[in-house]
Chain A
Amino acid sequence: MSPRRIPVDADAVGRREVPLRITVDGEPLDGIAGQTIAGVLLAAGRLAWRRGPSGAPRGVFCGIGVCFDCLVSVGDERDVRACRRRARDGDVITTQRRVGNGFNSPSEEEE
Chain B
Amino acid sequence: MTLCRVHVAVVGAGPAGLAAAEAALRAGARVTLVDSAENPGGQYHRMLPDAYAAARPDQLQHGWRAFDRRRRRVLAHPRCTWCPETVVWALEHRFPEGELDSPGDPGPPRSSQAPRVHLLSGPPDGGARVRHVLDPDALVLAVGAHDRVLPFPGWELPGVFTAGAAQALAKGERVAVGDRVVVAGTGPFLLPVAVSLLEAGAGVLEVLEANTPATLARGWSRRAWELAALTGKAGELRAYVVDLARHRVPYRCGRAVVGARGEGRVEEVVSARLRADWSVVPGSERSTAVDALCVSHGFSPQLELPLAAGCALRDAASGRPADGERASAVDQFVVVDDDQRTTAPGVFAAGEITGIAGAPAARVEGTLAGWIAAGGDPAAPALRSVRRARDQGRAFARRLARAHPIGPAWPGWLSPGTVICRCEGTDYGALRRAVASPAGAAARVTKLATRAGLGPCQGRICGPTVAELTARLGNGPTVERPVAGLPPATPHHRPLAHPIRLGELAAPPQPPPQPDHPSHVPPTPTKETER
Contact = CB atoms under 8 A, between A and B. Distances in A.
Given A6-B201, A62-B162, 8 more contacts: A1-B179, A5-B176, A13-B56, A63-B165, A68-B456, A71-B456, A85-B123, A85-B126
A60 B169 contact: yes
A97 interface: no
A11 B48 CA distance: 12
A66 B124 contact: no
Contacts of A48: 158, 264-265
Interface in A32-59: 32-36, 38-39, 42-43, 47-48, 52-54, 56-59
Nearest to A15: B52
Interface stretch (B271-279, B342-350, B419-427): B419-427
Interface string B93-127: 00000000000000000000000000000011111
B52 A39 contact: no
22 contacts: A2-B178, A3-B175, A4-B175, A5-B175, A13-B54, A13-B55, A13-B56, A18-B51, A42-B169, A56-B425, A58-B422, A59-B158, A62-B162, A63-B164, A64-B43, A67-B162, A67-B460, A68-B456, A69-B423, A79-B125, A83-B168, A86-B49
Closest 3 A-B residue pairs measured CB to CB?
Answer: A63-B165, A34-B49, A14-B55
Interface of A: 1-6, 10-16, 18, 32-36, 38-39, 42-43, 47-48, 52-54, 56-69, 71, 76-77, 79-81, 83-86
A12 B199 contact: yes
The B contact surface, by secondary structure, is loop
Among B43, B158, B160, B422, max chain A CB count under 10 A is at: B158
A18 B178 CA distance: 24
A13 B123 contact: no
Interface size class of B (residues with CB under 8 A): 35 or more
Given A6-B174, A47-B158, A80 B125 contact: yes
B57 interface: yes
Interface in B223-269: 264-265
B177 interface: yes
Contacts of A53: 423-425
